[in-house]
Amino acid sequence: MAEIGVPEGMEQPEEKKQGVAHLFAASSYSAAGLRRALGESAFRQEVVFFIAALALFFWIGATLAEFLGLTIIFLLMFGVEALNTAIEELVDRVSPEVSRTGKHAKDLGSFAVFCTLVAAGLYIAYVTFF
């Protein structure tokens, strides 16, 4: 519920936690972010892509270092996808009407995700064929 005189969605921020309480709070925020990301079909498709890549790497007998490289690339991809989703939600919240600036922000976020997808594809091709 909004405070009196404060617009909806603009309530006072929660008090900052300190020490170990901050660690637990940060973990719960990360878990909430993961749940939110799983609500995005693009994120779920990237998870399926990761699982398929892992299966391929098992099948071709990839080294532990190659598995590590694959995992790092996909973790970066998941992070970029989460940031892209955050950008899209903020643009929609701040500027619900279609705007050129909002479109540019969303397009740039999409391009960042595309770059990580290409990086993953190139790495998978390199490990598989060379």
- pLDDT tens per residue, range 83-98: 999 999 999 999 888 8
- Annotated catalytic residue 81: yes
Q: Please check whether residue 112 lies inside any domain of the structure.
A: yes
pLDDT higher than threshold 90 for residue 115: yes
- Summarize pLDDT for 29-50 with one digit per residue, the tens: 999 999 999 999 999 999 999 9
Q: Please check whether residue 52 lies inside any domain of the structure.
A: yes
Q: Which structural domain, as residue segments, surrounds residue 75? A: 41-129
The answer to whether the CB of 57 falls within 8 A of the CB of 70 is yes
pLDDT of residue 51: 98
Provide the CATH number for the domain around residue 86. Answer: 1.10.287.3610
Tally the domains of the chain. Answer: 1
How many C-beta atoms lie closer than 10 Å to residue 98's C-beta? 7
- Summarize pLDDT for 59-68 with one digit per residue, the tens: 999 999 999 9
The answer to whether the CB of 70 falls within 8 A of the CB of 124 is yes
Q: Please check whether residue 1 lies inside any domain of the structure.
A: no
Q: Please check whether residue 18 lies inside any domain of the structure.
A: no
* Mean pLDDT across the chain: 91
Q: Please check whether residue 62 lies inside any domain of the structure.
A: yes
Q: Among residues 14, 46, 81, 88, which one is catalytic?
A: 81
